């Protein structure tokens, strides 16, 4: 829940229609051992796509956090980032977001999916990084800068928690597919993702 009492846009909602709500629903992995192959593969693809999208949203947030924290450090050293070149700021953000899809996203993972549209539960991340004051940290006073860092860090932490939970669901599905393959219950073709997954 947010401080206003309304559901957080990055928290799963029981009975919700978003992909996050489905992947993190209590019954998403129910009957895993008996689940039809088609359902198993479809749920694996769903979880992997959600993980990819959450990873992308997290990188967006961390990119902005890097800029805000760099501004804080610069002020402590007696100079604002506003006094530095625009090229330097753009290059810093570009480096943060440079990881192409398919790269490892932490925990030794290698994703094949590309980020899809940023869904409803990540609109808060989009809105946060598009906030003009966050895009121009030099316009914030010290208190405003600290508040922006705190707000973005809380949102990044929430996205990170959901990403970890989604990773656990994806891992459970992959483990079940691996088990069936080892036990001779699935062929290689059954086990591998396809363009439809």
- DSSP string for residues in 43-65: HHHHHHHHHHHHHHHHHHHHHHH
Closest residue by Cα to residue 149 from 58, 62, 65: 65
pLDDT score recorded for residue 174: 92
| Predicted pLDDT at 121 | 46
Closest residue by Cα to residue 60 from 150, 123, 137, 5: 123
> Residue 85 has which token pair?
């070149």
Q: How far is CA 183 from the centre of its chain?
A: 34
Give phi and psi for 163, each to the nearest 5: -60, -45
Going residue by residue through the chain (197 aa), what tens digit of pLDDT does each one get? 444 444 455 678 888 888 999 999 999 999 999 999 899 999 999 999 999 888 888 888 888 888 888 888 888 877 665 566 556 656 655 665 565 444 444 444 555 556 565 555 456 666 776 676 677 777 888 898 899 899 899 989 999 999 999 999 999 999 999 999 898 887 777 666 655 45
Distance CA 186, CA 177 (A): 8
């Amino acid at each position: 829940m947010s401080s206003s009492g309304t559901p957080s846009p990055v928290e799963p909602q029981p009975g919700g229609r978003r992909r996050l709500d489905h992947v993190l629903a209590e019954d998403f992995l129910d009957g895993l051992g008996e689940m039809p192959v088609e359902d198993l593969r479809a749920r694996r693809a769903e979880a992997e796509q959600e993980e990819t999208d959450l990873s992308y949203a997290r990188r967006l947030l961390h990119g902005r956090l890097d800029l805000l924290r760099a501004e804080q450090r610069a002020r402590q050293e007696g100079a604002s980032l506003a006094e530095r070149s625009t090229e330097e700021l753009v290059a810093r953000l570009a480096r943060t977001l440079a990881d192409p899809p398919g790269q490892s996203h932490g925990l030794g993972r290698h994703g094949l999916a590309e980020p899809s549209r940023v869904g409803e539960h990540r609109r808060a991340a989009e809105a946060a990084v598009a906030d003009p004051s966050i895009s121009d940290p030099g316009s914030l006073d010290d208190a405003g800068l600290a508040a922006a860092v705190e707000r973005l860090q809380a949102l990044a932490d929430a996205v990170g928690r959901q990403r970890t939970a989604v990773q656990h669901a994806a891992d459970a599905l992959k483990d079940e597919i691996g088990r069936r393959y080892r036990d001779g219950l699935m062929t290689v073709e059954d086990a591998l993702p396809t363009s439809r997954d």
